[in-house]
Structure formats: C-alpha cells, structure tokens
Amino acid sequence: MFILYFQREWSVTLCINKESIKMGKLTGKTALITGALQGIGEGIARTFARHGANLILLDISPEIEKLADELCGRGHRCTAVVADVRDPASVAAAIKRAKEKEGRIDILVNNAGVCRLGSFLDMSDDDRDFHIDINIKGVWNVTKAVLPEMIARKDGRIVMMSSVTGDMVADPGETAYALTKAAIVGLTKSLAVEYAQSGIRVNAICPGYVRTPMAESIARQSNPEDPESVLTEMAKAIPMRRLADPLEVGELAAFLASDESSYLTGTQNVIDGGSTLPETVSVGI
C-alpha cells in the first residue's frame, strides 16, 4: 500500500472561492493538512472546508491536486502541494510555495501516517524505519517548518493524529505502528507545555478503527482471501458495532482547531466507538 513513492519536490494547485461559503467555526483560518488525499486526511479536509477553512492539502501523491480541484469546484479556497514529509527540504519548499499563495498557516493537522503488519522478530529494519521516518520524523519535520511563524504571531493550533494503538491498547503485528503512535502522544504533550505561553495549542486525536484505505489494507494483509470479514469482525468488537467514518474524525479535528476548544492543550481525544472500554474477559450480563 505504501511502497510506491514519487520523487518530486513540490507542485501547487490554487483555486479561489467561486461561490459564497457560509460562516463556520474555521472561517478565515488557513489549515495545512498532511496525508490529505484519502482516509482520515480526506475526511478532515472535507470537514474543514465545510466549516469555512482555507486549505493547504499536502500529500506525497500528485493525485492530491484532483481533490483540491474538486473542493475548489465546490467553492472552497484550496491549495494542493506535493511533498515527502520524510524530507525536510521537500517539506520546506512545499510550505514556502503554499504560503506565497495563502499568506499564513493558522492550523496544522499532522495526519500523514502508515501501518504495515509484521511480528517484532520478523519485521525488517527497513520496515521499522519506514514507520519511524513517516509517523515520527515526518510529523517533526512539518511541525518544525510551520511552528516558528505561529510563535511569531502568538497564535496557532496543531492537531496530531495518534491512535488508541500504542498508548492505550496493543495488537499483535503492530509493534512498529504502536511505537510511533505512542511517541506522538509524548510529542503532543511536550509541545503543548513548551509553547503554551506563545499562544500555541497542541492536541492529539486517538482514533480506533476507521473505515479507510489503511484499514482496508491491514484487512488484506491479515486475510487476503476475505478482507471484508476482517472489517466485519473489527466492527463486532466495538460497542457501537461499526467503524468510524473519516468525517466523524474530521469533526473532532475541527473542534480542536477552532476557538471552541480554546482552553484545551496537551490532550488525548479518543474517538473509537467505545472499543477501548470493555474488559478483555467479561463477567457482566
């Protein structure tokens, strides 16, 4: 799912509002969303657009320009940039170009991430580093590129995409993924403390199972002959008996990026349909 990468410094697509957008909780704010092409990132992009945000959509795939064009066609202001979050120079060039169009970045959503299944002893160093380079270093690189301007303005909101996996629960075969997502919780809290007096709020989202291309890829790795059965079993283990929709995660991200959460920083916000609530062995009714 994540093996193919495009080597390209940056590319930009810019569109301006073609129709009036209703005032929303993010109106007048510009949000940079990484890993925005599909899954949770796409859900966040669509939700932020509905709440009035101007968007900078960053992804490693040039296909991100199609999503930007679609949102532009619906009347939203949207810039697409192609960059590899593992490469600080690629990130810096893409953000510089986007800021030339949009002027500033008020909100950063660090969403880009990967997951490959593999037992601890069988996982290669390359696969381990693949997780670390994208899920940790990628977040570090983008945040470091965006944060100085936020500090200078004494205003900024950063939303980190962590997971219930790693800091709260664990699954066999996801050691590298769990390692990196737990690290994001630590980074969230550290940045929140370090930059609170600079007007920066940093909060993490910890999703459970979400119906995304990543979840579908994990299901195919788990059971190539019947991946849908894996997703069905996932849903059965959740008290709400379904996987989340990416748009639902988008609404939580919009709340954390808005003034509605003005006194929240350094928090972990679980959105999992109750999947982390039950005991492993139940003696209840």
- 62-71: pLDDT as tens digits: 999 999 999 9
In the chain, residues under CATH classification 3.40.50.720 are 12-208+246-271
Give the pLDDT score at 50. Answer: 97
**Is 177 labeled as catalytic in the residue annotation?**
yes
| DSSP 8-state assignment for residue 261 | G
What pLDDT does residue 278 have? 87
Residue 196 confidence (pLDDT): 99
173 has a pLDDT exceeding 80: yes
- What is the CB neighbour count within 10 angstroms for residue 6? 12
Please tell me which residue in 5, 177, 209, 263 is annotated as part of the active site: 177
Report, as an integer, the average pLDDT of 112-132.
97
- The H or E element containing residue 160 is strand 156-161
Residue-level length of the chain = 285
Note the CATH number of domain 12-208+246-271: 3.40.50.720
Percentage of the chain surpassing pLDDT 90?
Answer: 84
Q: What is the pLDDT of residue 15?
A: 52
DSSP 89-128: HHHHHHHHHHHHHH----EEEE-------B-TTT--HHHH
Confidence of residue 280 (pLDDT cuts 50, 70, 90): low
Name the H helices within the chain. 39-50, 64-73, 88-102, 125-131, 138-153, 164-167, 175-195, 213-222, 227-236, 246-257
Q: Report pLDDT for 5.
A: 33
Look up tokens 């670390």; give the residue: 132
pLDDT in tens, 44-58: 999 999 999 999 999
Two tokens at 233?
């079993």
Q: Is the pLDDT of residue 165 over 70?
A: yes
Please state, for a pLDDT cut of 70, what percent of the chain lies above it: 90
CB 107 within 8 A of CB 53: yes
Average pLDDT, the chain: 91
3-44 residue pLDDT tens: 333 333 334 444 544 444 467 999 999 999 999 999 999 999
Average pLDDT in the 108-118 region?
A: 96
Q: Which residue has the tokens 């929140």?
A: 192
Question: According to the model, what pLDDT value does residue 218 have?
Answer: 83
For residue 267, what pLDDT is reported? 99
pLDDT at 65: 97
**Rounded CA gap, 219 and 227, in Å?**
5
The alpha carbons of the chain give a radius of gyration, in whole angstroms, of 18
- Pick the more confident residue, 148 or 215: 148
> What's the rounded mean pLDDT across residues 73-92?
97
In this predicted structure, what is the pLDDT of residue 281? 52
Confidence class of residue 136 from pLDDT cuts 50, 70 and 90? very high
Closest by Cα among 167, 168, 138 to 58 = 138
Write the CB contacts of 228 (distance below 8 Å, at least 6 apart in sequence).
219
pLDDT mean over 107-116: 97
Considering the entire predicted model, what is its pTM? 0.89
Cα 209 to Cα 117, 227, 234: the distances in Å are 15, 15, 7
Token readout for 29 is 């704010």
Q: Label residue 217 by pLDDT band (50, 70, 90).
A: confident
* Predicted pLDDT of residue 213: 86
Write the single-letter amino acid at 164.
V
Task: Label residue 159 exposed, middle or buried (CB < 10 Å: 0-12, 13-18, 19+).
Answer: buried
Measured CA to CA, the distance from residue 5 to residue 100 in angstroms comes to: 26
Angle between helix axes 246-257 and 39-50 (nearest 10 degrees) is 50
